Structure 1
């Protein structure tokens, strides 16, 4: 296992060495563009492309990678782990120079084990009593859980795939799915139990920080089913973890189709209506963004979209899916251009 986590001193040194723009948190610096690993086929050919691109990116100026347990049937985490083990063992990169975020909550499949999500649920999660049927929230075709016992298992799986002792940021993945099924009271009660568990995981140094990676949960109208209040979530974290709690990151989509995080006052703090970016800043939470090209539908405006996001105050880093070195080169060049932040 690779010991350690991203440090402020060494992430700054890495980004300075590569003459990269950077964004600052109290705990580390990161590139304004991060390598996302969501899209792609569950094939060895796509794994080879991802591994090549991850290696190139980490050695040439992008020090932030984002993934999830369920991405590509667990292959995305495994692809990242193979590269991290190789380049840290060869001393081409130090663990303290890069930031890694991953997610759990959606029930995954395991491509390498030949298990689609339905089979994984039956033969691994239920059969081994990791979860019970009553722990599952089903919304349309998606299954979601909040039970801490599942996350104990999921975090261990992610650490094993990534070869990491400590995951820098661990997100609760699309929590609005459970909110839609449970309703506000039951959801926030379960969220409190889960945040308490996450704080214990921080104490054990399995994760360093936690957060929520949402789709529409933070940017929808307050009366919409599935809406999540950032102020309430932060107050729950403060209740279980004190002033120095570790709920410090959220992820949400921002692009030309979804500008709500920037333009729409969907959140409130102390009775004042504000955008998600404004609320997060007020609450001491850092925002990363996903789907900059609306899942590939706006790819023709790629460079303009990335520069717009890099110049938007309050965005820590934008997750950009890339499994081609040529794409990585273009994105690294964009990340090094002058920004107004």
Structure 2
């Protein structure tokens, strides 16, 4: 598991190679403010090998945060993350590994009959009921989440995952009212609280696509304050002294800045604020997904924004924008090749925007 001693030693080894605030506090230690995600790519042996090489290079170059999920590339991404952690010339206690559960994962390849596969591995196995399954592929039923934690530990080959997310719980709003979804989130949080107490995971979070960056009247909206409250109740139910809900993952980039601009979350004094500001004010770590907008920002950035950013390439400037936002602990980016990893690592040699320059983007 990532420890204070291990991650600070990692920071001491690599920190002088990077710009201001490249390493940021997370949990008991620190993580790089650029992390490697493993979502994209075909589920093939060739892509596995590309990922393995890229992840090892990242770990040995100053990036100590790896993000994956139980369903990414049909479970292959979790496997290759574990392989890279073991292969890299970096101690395990210097590396923060995050994974997620919510979407039913396949096993290495897409089955010929996905509906039958889900029925046999989830419904018939008693991990969820039909009314807990959204779009035939998503559930946060307690038994399913518990099973997925075990599966993630097994596929990575690690004895501890540092951060475990509920994956896109707003998907459940397609089949249940909002209050029911909050109840389901709380029940899943109880499972994760127990896994924290058992030391299988270090802390947990909630990874979303739309939920926290849309207005309150949107069909996919979830209240971040209510989610925090449900985590507190889950901790109390389980008997933990305090909630281990520590993180939020959401899309944020130059052209998708809703998490900063949409005020949809109620503060303690009754005002409305953005997801990023709420997380910042309540000590939640934020990890940004889609930091390059699926690669679009590596090809073009609005000129009015581009001139404010630091970096030699468009991708580097886009990454530095995402990790400059208030409350952001790290910006996640893919690792399609060692060349892309080298470019992304180099982004960290540039300082992030200061608060005044960041605000100027929105003026």
Using the size of structure 2 for normalisation, the TM-score is 0.86
Pair 1:251 & 2:252 matched: no
Give the counterpart of 1:15 among 11, 16, 40: 11
- Over the aligned positions, Cα root-mean-square deviation in angstroms equals 1.8
- Maintained 8 Å contact 2:36/2:66: yes
Match of 1:102 in 2: 99
For residues 92 and 112 of structure 2, the distance between their equivalents in structure 1, rounded to whole angstroms, comes to 32
Give the counterpart of 1:332 among 338, 341, 345: 345
Match of 2:87 in 1: 86
How far is the alpha carbon of 1:26 from its aligned partner?
Answer: 4.4
For residues 48 and 56 of structure 2, the distance between their equivalents in structure 1, rounded to whole angstroms, comes to 12
- Maintained 8 Å contact 2:259/2:275: yes
Deviates more, 1:310-319 or 1:29-38: 310-319
For residues 127 and 220 of structure 1, the distance between their equivalents in structure 2, rounded to whole angstroms, comes to 36
**Gap change, CA 1:42 and 1:206, over 3 Å in 2:** same
SS where residue 329 of structure 1 aligns?
helix
- Maintained 8 Å contact 1:110/1:116: no
**Residues 239-265 of structure 1: per-residue CA shift (max 9 Å, x gap):** 221562101101000012211112221
For residues 318 and 92 of structure 2, the distance between their equivalents in structure 1, rounded to whole angstroms, comes to 30
Match of 1:45 in 2: 46
**Gap change, CA 1:13 and 1:110, over 3 Å in 2:** same
How far is the alpha carbon of 1:55 from its aligned partner?
Answer: 0.8
Pair 1:264 & 2:262 matched: yes
Structure 2, unaligned runs of 5 or more: 300-313, 355-363
Match of 2:357 in 1: none
**Residues 304-334 of structure 1: per-residue CA shift (max 9 Å, x gap):** 1112122222110011011211111111111
Report 1:253-292 matches (<5 A). Answer: 253-270=251-268, 271-292=270-291
Pair 1:124 & 2:121 matched: yes
SS where residue 7 of structure 2 aligns?
helix
SS where residue 317 of structure 2 aligns?
helix
- Maintained 8 Å contact 2:127/2:144: yes
How far is the alpha carbon of 1:41 from its aligned partner?
Answer: 0.8
For residues 278 and 212 of structure 1, the distance between their equivalents in structure 2, rounded to whole angstroms, comes to 16
- Maintained 8 Å contact 1:108/1:120: no
Report 1:134-283 matches (<5 A). Answer: 134-138=131-135, 143-242=137-236, 244-270=242-268, 271-283=270-282
SS where residue 137 of structure 1 aligns?
coil
- Maintained 8 Å contact 2:68/2:78: yes
SS where residue 143 of structure 1 aligns?
coil
Match of 1:302 in 2: 315
- Maintained 8 Å contact 2:134/2:171: yes
How far is the alpha carbon of 1:340 from its aligned partner?
Answer: 4.9
How far is the alpha carbon of 1:112 from its aligned partner?
Answer: 5.0
Structure 1, unaligned runs of 5 or more: none
- Maintained 8 Å contact 2:321/2:352: no
